[in-house]
Structure 1
């Protein structure tokens, strides 16, 4: 019979002073309770209980055994409760792996807000531009480009989509001309990954009328997207970089977006974790936090809220301007937007530093 169960039965018999009472409390038959105690005595080679027709009493060995068994069962219950708590309450070290540039430019705010929400979790972040085996290397969560995942036992969940942008400095373009078609890249100094990391691969541009395939030749290679950005800012050539990485450079005019009429294939960014079975709370809550951070509310919901705020402002001001009220009513009726100029969606999510 199960030794731990026999120990629990013995404690209950000793506490109640009755096999029948213990059987009722444990929802077992009296015969099974008697068997558990007898098995313990046989295992120990000593009598634990003195039995008479009227009462039960502990032997000296039984009293010593009972005291120690209580501690053992209490310790076991404490361990079980601790494990259950770790699975249901976010606690412990959370090992995260992500590409280098993604981590440097996009991960820190997520980790900071998560740590503030769950102070009992200690994030342990590793940045790596290589193939990662989550199971072998003991990571809880990976934020990875699909081709950088390795392991048949991992579970993946789409997080967002990243986009690549062709760019160069105004000074470079003034000196060398502005490419207007993908084929023009063949006449420019291109900055990309080394050949062994995919640099020099054929690029597939989707244009307004057709697909265009070109294979730019590297003038300079680097194994890190941030280094390629620095080379680009120094006017050393044309690069294809993640939009999130160069967003501020484009806004400030340090870099110019090229080939606006063409798009490169998007990059799917995924969350990966070892298993759905008994997923620890620290992993589950971090995944939810990532999704919340990188998948903002829909544009319609955002615009509806903005229009409602506009109406509240107009009403609060006491304005009788019919034009303002008409604009506000039109915004609410049309889904909330008062803007007449449409812009290309901006990507909030970082992409892998490999491209």
Structure 2
């Protein structure tokens, strides 16, 4: 009986809420998850879980044993990481999350450079516009756009995220060039599906604030789809500078409303502050910060109580 493995399976089954969910997380069958739990119960001579066809719950003994298991597994992970920290060459799997557009256009090429420099490292880059949970998703680091509110994370500031408003020459010839933000109400505006009040972009024109039109004729949940619609002459697009840079340089898109663009948003490379970064993470952070021109790092911050 592999006690440590069975303890890991037991903890995962409790955290995941079911044997099926634990099996998916551990890449094993639900039957095997059940066998590990049964082996623990037989070894301890006590029932750890009360299960029915619809739910499962911890027994009193199970609750106590769960806390002990987590402490033991954390000590094992720390012992393993201590060995890795002692190695000079970065190695092992590095898991990083980044927003889709910034990740594909900027972070992915940097990751390729990093892997060329460190052949013993493997990198899993997850592209998503959702805010990734570093602990819950077992991530080493994440690129986040906007203010970092989690004070348990170290935040390394990167180049700010700037937006550009543009249209194709054909569209602007037909509809005219907008001179003020208020003119957008008379234009066809292309909008991103995830722009909501909590993360929408606001244009500033003199003393007034204008939101990018919510009732757009064309909505897409992916920036490159909006870019291609703008290139086809459908309307005005507001997208990150990194996405439109080549089209602007080639004259396929023409920038407008320079004076009322949204304020650039902060971009940070974040990782947990409650551990010493392993070589693979430390070198990756250095690589990204060096490439994207970050300022001095913010000191590690402790999470507020109850956060």
Whether the TM-score (by the shorter chain) exceeds 0.5 is: yes
Match of 2:293 in 1: 295
Match of 1:213 in 2: 210
Equivalent pair of 1:199/1:218 in contact (CA under 8 Å): no
**Whole-angstrom distance in 1 between the partners of 2:250 and 2:234:** 19
**Whole-angstrom distance in 2 between the partners of 1:105 and 1:80:** 32
Number of aligned positions between the proteins: 216
Greater relative contact order (CA < 8 Å, ≥ 6 in sequence): 2
Match of 2:104 in 1: 104
**Whole-angstrom distance in 2 between the partners of 1:151 and 1:92:** 27
- RMSD (Å) for aligned C-alpha atoms: 2.7
**Whole-angstrom distance in 1 between the partners of 2:264 and 2:91:** 36
Pair 260,140 (structure 1): closer, same or farther in 2 beyond 3 Å: same
Tell me the TM-score normalised to structure 2 length: 0.64
Name the SS for the 1:218 alignment partner. coil
Equivalent pair of 1:134/1:140 in contact (CA under 8 Å): yes
Per-residue CA deviation, residues 69-113 of structure 1 (Å, 9 max, x unaligned), is: xxxxxxxxx979734425x54111111111112222112221122
**Whole-angstrom distance in 1 between the partners of 2:81 and 2:276:** 14
Per-residue CA deviation, residues 144-180 of structure 1 (Å, 9 max, x unaligned), is: 1136x78653222211212111111011111111111
**Whole-angstrom distance in 2 between the partners of 1:150 and 1:126:** 21
**Whole-angstrom distance in 2 between the partners of 1:150 and 1:271:** 13
Equivalent pair of 1:134/1:150 in contact (CA under 8 Å): no
Name the SS for the 2:142 alignment partner. strand
- Correspondence 1:245 to 2:246: no
Name the SS for the 2:258 alignment partner. coil
**Whole-angstrom distance in 2 between the partners of 1:81 and 1:205:** 49
User: 1:234-273 residue pairs with structure 2 within 5 A?
Assistant: 234-273=232-271
**Whole-angstrom distance in 2 between the partners of 1:262 and 1:182:** 7
Shift of 1:260: 2.1
Shift of 1:274: 1.7
Pair 277,163 (structure 1): closer, same or farther in 2 beyond 3 Å: same
User: 1:1-355 residue pairs with structure 2 within 5 A?
Assistant: 82-86=83-87, 89-146=89-146, 153-194=152-193, 197-198=195-196, 203-207=201-205, 209-216=206-213, 217-295=215-293
Pair 288,172 (structure 1): closer, same or farther in 2 beyond 3 Å: same
**Whole-angstrom distance in 2 between the partners of 1:197 and 1:269:** 18
Higher-helix-fraction structure: 1
Larger radius of gyration: 1
Shift of 1:201: 7.8
Equivalent pair of 1:161/1:267 in contact (CA under 8 Å): yes
Name the SS for the 1:109 alignment partner. helix
Equivalent pair of 2:96/2:123 in contact (CA under 8 Å): yes
Shift of 1:143: 0.9
**Whole-angstrom distance in 1 between the partners of 2:80 and 2:282:** 22
Pair 140,177 (structure 1): closer, same or farther in 2 beyond 3 Å: same
Equivalent pair of 1:193/1:200 in contact (CA under 8 Å): no
Bigger drift between 212-221 and 111-120 goes to 212-221
**Whole-angstrom distance in 2 between the partners of 1:139 and 1:257:** 37
Equivalent pair of 1:135/1:151 in contact (CA under 8 Å): no
**Whole-angstrom distance in 2 between the partners of 1:127 and 1:203:** 21
Pair 135,291 (structure 1): closer, same or farther in 2 beyond 3 Å: same
